[in-house]
Chains A and B, each alone.
Chain A
Amino acid sequence: MRIVIIGAGVIGLATAWRTAAGGAAVTLVDPAPASGASSVAAGMLTPVSELTYGEEPLLRLGLASRDRYGAFAAELEELTGLDTGYRTDGIIEVAFDSDDLKHLDDLRRFQESLGIPVEALTGRECRKQEPMLAPGVRGGLLAPADGSIDPRRLAPALLAACERLGVRLVRRRAARIVAEHDAAAGVGLDDGTVLPADRVLIAAGPWSGDLEGLPPGTVPPVRPVKGQVIRLRTRTPFIRRSTRGLVRGSSVYLVPRADGEIVLGATQEELGFDTRVTAGGLWELLRDARELLPGITELEFAEVTAGLRPGSPDNAPVMGPTAMPGLFAGTGHFRNGILLTPVSADILSAMLLDGPVPEVAGAFAPGRFATEVRA
């Protein structure tokens, strides 16, 4: 079976790897593999602290992916000999003032109602866990099973795994879907070449709707949601584990790496395909981070980047066969792309190979928006 995957971000790469491992001839099309949101993201693996009312199916998908991550990363590291920076030391989420604490309490009650183990901490307990936290921190939650991975290590490792398994990488832009008898039969590139395919997967993040030859509504609308991220560097230990804070209603996180890098993120902006870094964006991040961890001002400023999260109408990924036979979607992972990589690769490769699809995939079919679009 010939499979063409459009987009070599973490979702496209991981799916290419798993699909090639299943025996298919896989071609990946991307002008710049592993360079999009995957290279900006902080890589927190935290289905629990990202929980939102009404998004319980997404929580279940996130938990499934988090629990799958250990084996996924181990297999990837063994195959490629590359480190992914995977860690499972938990995530602490703290409240800066009493309004923030009310919000966290609400979140904790919701988490507990869903049977998720979280540990409530007083302000002093938070500071025992993370001594650099500001003395005024009011309280927090510990999600002991959450963790993080370094997307800048994960994506190259996935690329190496694809190469090992003979995935063909075409560094060009996919321009159109080629159809025969209304079914997907290949991908046309920007230089006019056509890659014939039995099945095509669109995993092009916020660009997923840009292909020509797609009947309207085939791929649900996925929009870019900008995130600015700062990378800092420390020579002495600063925080032990990923730390999220709610600071006067605004959310900020810091993710430490073994090599002393600390990723500070992220803004959330609805500004189309804009990746400019702005003074205001950086100021908001630094302002909140300094309130939470006053010592942050001593750290070295290493880098600042902006990426585009692919946001679907309900914030959940869009995975599965589309209305066009042979054409599959694997996009819309929004804030959770890194977290959802293992389970998405399992789901999408199973679909592409006609294998048994994990049950948790049911809520994420591309067709779920069809009625709303007409209404």
Chain B
Amino acid sequence: MEKLVIAGEELDSRLIMGTGGAPSMQVLREALTASGTALTTVAMRRVDPSARGSVLDVLAECGIRVLPNTAGCFTAGEAVLTAKLAREALGTNWVKLEVIADEHTLLPDPIELVEAAEQLVGDGFTVLPYTSDDPVLAHRLEQIGCAAVMPLGSPIGSGLGIRNPHNIELIVERANVPVILDAGLGTASDAALAMELGCDAVLLATAVTRARHPARMASAMRHAVEGGRLARLAGRIPKRRYAQASSPFEGLATS
């Protein structure tokens, strides 16, 4: 299957993982391994890159590329500063840009997001913005020079799945950069749906880290992403009102 390419770089998996909510480093390690992910996002405000035994060590030992994110930032200023600190600490110019409007919904603040994206792109970052499912905003982010767009399915950690599949389809139709469904997925069918809608990849954390068996759910997500991608490429049949027999009635033996 064709590989996911972001900003000219190939990734071996279309499942991007987050680390938030993992009960322990051991469980996180098992889940990441089971997910087969090649890229995992880490909240830079929640980790000290110089500390040993941290989530960054786990990623390094598993050979997974780190995607620093700006979770917890409410203004463009904070997000830009956090991204720069991450670049300095981790030596990567990739950033998952997250600028949150309020604590209760954790929805992106579109105005601050565009502002921060513009600054970071201008500063040479490869910007992957976490955005709402608004097709216009997604398009604007692409025009600014973001390397991908990451619309939400539903609020972070909610497990509500994809609440507006139509908008996701509109974003996919128009996008010339990878579309990564980010946030709100609850279970494997949600991830499969994202891929069937034409997303290039899926980013999730809570659905795995807070599952009863995180590694098992990670494996389920991996298969769902692969299955959904294959279904998209295979092309689904049109929906019909009435049945159509899968085996022909003609030529049946008659007595």
Contact = CB atoms under 8 A, between A and B. Distances in A.
A89 interface: no
For A209, A270, A311, which residue has the most chain B Cβ atoms within 10 angstroms? A270
A373 to B, nearest CB: 8
A209 B46 CA distance: 23
A313 interface: yes
B213 to A, nearest CB: 7
Interface in A313-330: 313-315
B46 A269 contact: yes
A223 B212 contact: no
A313 B26 contact: yes
Given A248-B104, A270-B55, A314 B48 contact: no
In the complex, which range does the number of interface residues on chain A fall in?
20 to 34
Interface string A277-300: 000000000000000000000000
In the complex, which range does the number of interface residues on chain B fall in?
20 to 34
A313 B57 CA distance: 11
Given A54-B27, A315-B23, A270 B52 contact: no
Interface in B33-66: 46-48, 50-55, 57, 61
B157 interface: yes
Contacts of A180: none
Contacts of A182: none
A314 B24 contact: yes
Given A53-B212, A314-B27, A372-B29, A222 B48 contact: no
A221 interface: yes
B81 interface: no
B48 A274 contact: yes
A55 B48 contact: no
A315 B52 CA distance: 15
Contacts of A222: 53
A273 interface: yes
A269 B47 CA distance: 8
Contacts of A55: 23-24
A149 B209 CA distance: 32
Contact of B23 (A52, A248, A269, A369): A52
A70 interface: no
Nearest to A271: B48
A272 B51 contact: yes
For B29, B54, B57, B103, which residue has the most chain A Cβ atoms within 10 angstroms? B54
B23 A221 contact: no
Interface in B1-53: 23-27, 29, 46-48, 50-53
A249 interface: yes
Contact of A54 (B23, B51, B57, B104): B23
Given A271-B51, A273-B51, A314 B25 contact: yes
A171 B103 CA distance: 46
A249 B23 contact: no
Contact of A313 (B25, B46, B104): B25
Interface string A247-258: 011000000000
Interface string A61-87: 000000000000000000000000000
Interface string A187-228: 000000000000000000000010000000000011110000
Contacts of B214: 54
Contacts of B47: 270-271
Nearest to B55: A270
B53 A223 contact: yes
B255 to A, nearest CB: 58
A221 B29 CA distance: 14
A313 B23 CA distance: 10
Contact of A223 (B23, B27, B54): B54
Given A269-B46, A270-B47, A314-B24, A221 B53 contact: yes
B21 to A, nearest CB: 10
Interface string B210-249: 0011100000000000000000000000000000000000
B218 to A, nearest CB: 13
Contact of A270 (B29, B46, B61, B103): B46
B213 A53 contact: yes
Interface string B155-175: 001000000000000000000
Contacts of B46: 269-270
B51 A313 contact: no
B200 to A, nearest CB: 30
A222 B29 CA distance: 15
Contacts of A274: 48
B31 to A, nearest CB: 11
A249 B24 contact: no
A54 B48 contact: no
Nearest to A220: B53
Contacts of B212: 53
Contacts of B27: 54, 314
Interface in B171-221: 212-214
A271 B53 CA distance: 11
Chain A to chain B: the 5 pairs with minimum beta-carbon distance, closest first: A272-B51, A223-B53, A314-B26, A272-B48, A315-B24
Interface of B: 23-27, 29, 46-48, 50-55, 57, 61, 103-104, 157, 212-214
Given A221-B52, A315-B24, 14 more contacts: A53-B23, A54-B23, A54-B214, A55-B23, A209-B52, A223-B53, A223-B54, A224-B51, A248-B103, A269-B46, A270-B51, A273-B51, A313-B26, A313-B29
25 contacts: A53-B212, A53-B213, A54-B213, A54-B214, A55-B24, A222-B53, A223-B25, A248-B103, A270-B47, A270-B48, A270-B51, A270-B54, A271-B48, A271-B51, A272-B48, A272-B50, A272-B52, A313-B25, A313-B53, A314-B27, A315-B23, A315-B24, A372-B26, A372-B29, A373-B61
